[in-house]
Structure 1
Amino acid sequence: MSRVYLVRHASHDRVHATLCGRMPGIVLGAQGRAEAAALAARLAASGAALVLSSPLERAVETAEPIAARLGQPLGIAPELDEIAFGDWTGRRFADLADDPAWRRWNEARATARPPGGESMAEAQGRVLGLLERLSGTCVLVSHRDVIRSVLVRVLGLSLDAYDRIAVDPGSLSLIEFWPGGGRLVGLNEQPATA
């Protein structure tokens, strides 16, 4: 069994306006750096012996102070990468609102796929494969929908239930995970920033 802290990367300037996906160069703003420091303080006593991050800059910048506080090296895990949003990458949410494919994506995550991108089921499969290889207490820094895909699985829900779970920037959720199962211990905790 593993005890896994699922951390969503901290805030950046486009977090609520643009579907950044795997765009390079998206880095934390001042608020995000404060959130990352608060996460590091919160996780200092977690006993985590492994810290892994998505390869994207915003996730790495969130994970670095956590790893430093824990005295652990930071590992990069491609399995934690954001969903590949294909043609939607870099588009403003407001511009996507009238797109029928965007509406389908948000109504049927179990079966829909972004144009030229990856399905949520594929993202779920890659991150669950990683979780099955872990043991002990770990911190994984990733992205909202990747984390949601794990949480719906642990709760025994369909991917279509993804939007019933809040995973805010700079938040952590805690699961206990074992081959074939798991349980939710904590959800969407946002440590107070200084």
Structure 2
Amino acid sequence: MSVLIGLVRHGSHDDLGTWLSGRTRDIALNAAGRDQTAALAQRLAGRGIAAIHTSPRRRTVETAAILGQGLGLAPVRADPWDEIDFGAWSGARFSDLDPDPAWQRWNAVRATAPTPGGETMAAVVARAVAHLDGLALQGGEPVLCVSHCDVIRGVIAHALGLTLDNILRFEIAPASISWVIAHGQGMAHVLTMNGSE
């Protein structure tokens, strides 16, 4: 069996580009993020979305709630879509991280570089892909999975057969949606990426 999945990045918030929010800065959407998400919900109306699964972070929960309100669905918490556990980096300013050789290595070779006491990129992708596999086994109508930029990048790289070292070569914007068809057993193919509907 297979299922159509919309991978939605949370809407904008005030940490973007300044702080590595991670799991410790549980920041809310800002006004722009709420507006972006409401507009996405309008564009998705009539697409037959059956469910919304969300990371437990505040920014994703709020995004999922706005989508749910627009689509008449109650979002479901799905921890496999949680933000990367960045360990000691979580909640740091990017300007403080940029000179750190370990941070530079993480961004150059995601396939093998560790985080300081957190997750590897491979572990992040494995948990998200396992969730996709479970959804594929159920089949049915499209599901939205609300998550975070690099989690979505990693899943797309996996589906395209790219090494995780390449995930910074494409953009996943706030409140964007990327459509994939999950077939189970780690198999998926990408229909669209970083789209608006």
**What is the aligned partner in structure 1 of residue 8 from structure 2?**
7
The CA deviation string for residues 61-110 of structure 1, in whole angstroms up to 9 with x for no partner, is 11112112222221000101000001001111111111000011001100
Superposed, 1:1-194 pairs within 5 Å as 1-134=2-135, 135-136=139-140, 137-180=142-185, 181-190=187-196
| CA-CA distance at 1:190 after TM superposition | 3.2
TM, length-normalised to structure 2: 0.94
| CA-CA distance at 1:25 after TM superposition | 3.2
* Residues in 1 aligned to 2:165 and 2:9: alpha-carbon distance in whole angstroms: 20
| CA-CA distance at 1:176 after TM superposition | 1.0
* Residues in 1 aligned to 2:37 and 2:88: alpha-carbon distance in whole angstroms: 30
SS in 2 for 1:129: helix
* Residues in 1 aligned to 2:130 and 2:81: alpha-carbon distance in whole angstroms: 11
| CA-CA distance at 1:24 after TM superposition | 4.4
SS in 1 for 2:161: coil
Conservation of the 8 A alpha-carbon contact between 2:177 and 2:196: yes
1:189 alignment partner AA: G
| CA-CA distance at 1:15 after TM superposition | 1.1
Conservation of the 8 A alpha-carbon contact between 2:38 and 2:70: no
Conservation of the 8 A alpha-carbon contact between 1:12 and 1:26: yes
SS in 1 for 2:52: strand
Conservation of the 8 A alpha-carbon contact between 2:20 and 2:92: yes
Equivalences, count: 191
Structure 2 unaligned regions, length at least 5: none
Percent identity of equivalent pairs:
44
Conservation of the 8 A alpha-carbon contact between 1:80 and 1:146: yes
- Deviating beyond 3 angstroms after TM superposition, the runs of 4 or more aligned structure 1 residues are none
* Residues in 2 aligned to 1:156 and 1:57: alpha-carbon distance in whole angstroms: 31
TM, length-normalised to structure 1: 0.95
Superposed CA RMSD? 1.1
Conservation of the 8 A alpha-carbon contact between 2:172 and 2:194: yes
* Residues in 1 aligned to 2:91 and 2:196: alpha-carbon distance in whole angstroms: 26
| CA-CA distance at 1:162 after TM superposition | 0.5
Conservation of the 8 A alpha-carbon contact between 2:25 and 2:91: no
* Residues in 1 aligned to 2:176 and 2:24: alpha-carbon distance in whole angstroms: 21
SS in 1 for 2:36: helix
2:123 alignment partner AA: E
Structure 1 unaligned regions, length at least 5: none
* Residues in 2 aligned to 1:37 and 1:68: alpha-carbon distance in whole angstroms: 9
